[in-house]
Amino acid sequence: MMWYDGGWGWGGWFFMAMFMVLFWALVIGGIVALVRYLGGAHHDRQSARPVSPGEQGWGGRRAEDLLAERFARGEIEEDEYKRRLALLREHR
């Protein structure tokens, strides 16, 4: 049997082992990222608290409170505020 010494030697084995570890780390990291991405949307839908009547989905604040803030900041006039408030209370 002949000794074959034309290979990479110890340095080649070292780099091959490093690249194998790096490859598997990237594969596992990609799988974890994919699972977290796909599972995150499902988790958000289940953990959302139920919205009670008269509430909108903006952080759980009531629509009437948002309307009052807009009126206080001067974004809407008094008649517009009263009209929208009556409309909100009508649809409860």
Structural domain of 34: 9-41
DSSP code string of 23-63: HHHHHHHHHHHHHHHHHHHHHHHHHSPPPPTTB-SSTT-BH
Residue 47 located in a structural domain: no
Residue 4 located in a structural domain: no
Task: Look at the pTM and tell me if it is higher than 0.85.
Answer: no
User: 36 and 59 share a domain?
Assistant: no
User: 33 and 60 share a domain?
Assistant: no
User: 36 and 65 share a domain?
Assistant: no
More confident residue, 23 or 39: 23
Residue 3 located in a structural domain: no
User: 88 and 59 share a domain?
Assistant: yes
Question: How sure is the predictor about 59, in pLDDT bands with cuts at 50, 70 and 90?
Answer: very low
Which of 72, 76, 49 is CA-nearest to residue 61?
49
pLDDT reading at 74 higher than 50: yes
How many domains does one find in the chain? 2
Residue 1 located in a structural domain: no
